[in-house]
Structures are given as C-alpha cells and as structure tokens.
Amino acid sequence: MRLPLVRPSAPAGHRTVWWVRAALGALGLAALGYALFGFLANVPPAQLIGVAAWLAVALLVHDGVLVPLTTLAGGGLSRLTYGLSPVQQGIVRGALLVGAVVTLVAAPLVRAQQVLQPRGPGSGANGTVLQGDYALVLGVFWVVLVVAAAAVVAAVGLYGRRSKVRKTRS
C-alpha cells in the first residue's frame, strides 16, 4: 500500500478550528510578553537574580525529586491495581493525584497552625489567625475522597460486567 505524499485538503470546519487555535495562541503569547515586560520593568535587578535562582531550584526539585517519586508511585500503583480495568486504574490514579495536590496545599496550613497557635491558657495565641481545624478537614477530605473513588470504581466495574453479559447473551 502506498501512502499519499500530500494530504487531501481539510474541510472548512478544520480550517476554522486552526484559525481559532492560532488566534488563541497569539493572544496567549501577547499576554505572556506583556507580563514578562511588566515583570522586568518593575522588579529590581537584585531580585531578578533571586527569582532566577528560585526557578532553577524549583526545576531541579521538580525534575530531580518529584518526577522520579511519581514515576515510582505510578509503577507501584500499577502493580496494586493489576486486576482493575484501565478506566478503574485511571480513577484511582486521578483520586490519588487530587488527594496529593490538596495535601500539598493544606500541609503548610496545618504546620503553621501548629506553630502559630499553641494551645493552653496564657499562650497568647491570636484566635483570628488560621481559624479552623485544618488537620481534621484534611482527614475528612481523604475519607470522602477514598469512599467516592471506591464507589465510582465499583460502579464502573459493575457497569462493565453488565455490558459484557449483555454482549455475550445477544
């Protein structure tokens, strides 16, 4: 079978989508350029060095720590969810990703609350700072997330079995 060297012309709808994508890309590049110009115009050169160092460390931490850890976790998760369908595995991975992101956001609040609000009489704690029990809320969030993910995985499994039964009977 011989492959054509030139693709047939795209329908008018595809050309419209291309132009919309190109316009949105140009708009995004313009906004990025405006933000970069404003950043460079308003930040002193000494702070630019600090920002560049922070970005370099963030890149090293991301590529040197977070990516290997998530790759290892994904491999271990594949072994743990071996009997599940790909859709169910995706649900488990998505739930764990959401839980990890929420935990990363909440962890500094939990730690700050422990440090800044000592308990007991005469502690001098400011009751208006960091209100709420962040550790309890994070724990409740994880329980709800696990229950919801388990329910959806079970529902997908039941739906998959029922659809297989219908296909084999007809």
Q: Write down the pTM of the prediction.
A: 0.59
Separation between Cα atoms, residue 85 and residue 91, nearest integer Å? 10
Q: pLDDT by residue for the chain (170 residues), tens digit each? A: 565 555 555 566 678 888 999 999 999 999 999 999 999 999 998 899 999 999 999 999 999 998 898 889 888 888 888 888 989 999 999 999 899 999 999 998 888 887 776 665 556 666 666 778 889 999 999 999 999 999 999 999 888 776 665 556 55
